[in-house]
Structure 1
C-alpha cells in the first residue's frame, strides 16, 4: 500500500491521470475500471486533455464501469453511465465495443453480474481499478458488511449512500439497490487505486487505512493490498498519523 499526498485536488487528479496514461503506454490493451461521482471528475478532464494531445491512447483499452444504481441507464441523469458518458466518452472518439458497463435494467441482475465477472476473467483480469470512497467507507457500492471475497454482486444501499446519492439527481430519487464490482475484483487488480479529496473524507480515510481491518469499513481492505496506490489531497490526508 503506497500513499501519495498532493497539495490540492487538482494535483491529485493530475497524478491519477498520469498513472493511467503511463500504464496505457506500457500495456495499450489494458482493462481499466473508472468510477463515477465527484472524485474522478478532475482525473477524467486531464485524461481527455492527454488523449487529445496524443499523450494517452485509449484506442486499444477497454473501460469497465464500476457500478450502477439498479433500474437506471445512460438516459437517466444522475446514473453512473450518464456520468461517464458526459464526463469522458462523449469527449473522445471512443469505440462503444470497448465500453463494458452493467445493464442495471436487466431482467436477471444475477446473470448480469456473472456476465461482467466472465468478461473480466476471460480477458486476464483487471489492470487498473480506480475507486473513490464513500462516507461510510464503501468502495463502489460495496456497503459496510460486504464480504471481502465477493466479485460483482447486487447491493442493498446503506441509508447514508441513499442520502448522499441525491446530490447527483435534479430531484429526490428513490435509490434502493446497486450493482457493483466486488472487493475481490479490487484486491486482484494489478493496480488497485483509491482517489479522495477534501477534509470531509479525512475521517473515513484515517479509519480505513489506520484502524483495525473489518468488513464494517469496506475500504479497510486496502491494508491487505500490497499493490494498492492511494492518492489523496492534503485535506483528505489531514487525519492520517505520520502522513508524508
Structure 2
C-alpha cells in the first residue's frame, strides 16, 4: 500500500468515527426530547447534519441505534463506579461515585433522560439487560458494601437500595432540571455550576450520614476527595 493510499484509508476511518459520534450525540438528544416512538431517523439525521442514509449505513435501524445509545449510557454510568475492594475506604469510595454521577448529570443530562423515558415505558427494549448484566453489576458492588458492613466500616444499610438511591438522587438533577431551576430561581431553566456543587455536597453528606460515616472527613470537604 502506498503512502497516499494509507493516508486516504486513515482519513476514511477518521471520518467514519466522526460521523458515528455525530449520529450518537444527535440520537441521544432527539431520543431524550421525543422518546423512542416520537423520534425518527430523519430527525436524528437533521440534528446530526448528515444525510438520512448515513443513519442506516452506520446503525441499520432506529431500533439498533436506540439500543446502542442506551448501551453506551449504561456503560458510562457503570464505569463511573470504579472497581472497589473490601480494602477501600467506604467514605472516599461513595463520595467519589456520587461526584462522578453528578458530573454525568451535569454534562450529559440527555443521557439520563433517555434512560428514564425507557424505564417509564416499562423498559420494553432493555428489560433482559436490567435483569441480567445490570443485576449482576449491582450484586457485585453491593457485595463489597456488605463486606464493609460486616467489617464494621459502615453502618448496616440495604446495600442494593443504597446504590439505587444514589442513582435517584443524582439523576434527578438531569431528569428534572427544569423543576430544580424553577425552584432555585434560575432563568431559562438552566442550573449553575454552583447548584450542582451544592447538590453534590448535600447528597454526599446525606449518604455518608446514613451509612454512619459522619462527621465528614477533612479530605472529603469542599470536593477535595
Scaled to the shorter chain, the TM-score interval is: under 0.3
Query: TM-score, structure 1 length as denominator?
Result: 0.25
**Richer in strand (by share):** 1
Query: TM-score, structure 2 length as denominator?
Result: 0.27
Choose between structure 1 and 2 for higher RCO, CA contacts under 8 A separated by at least 6 residues: 1
Larger Rg, first or second structure (1 or 2): 2
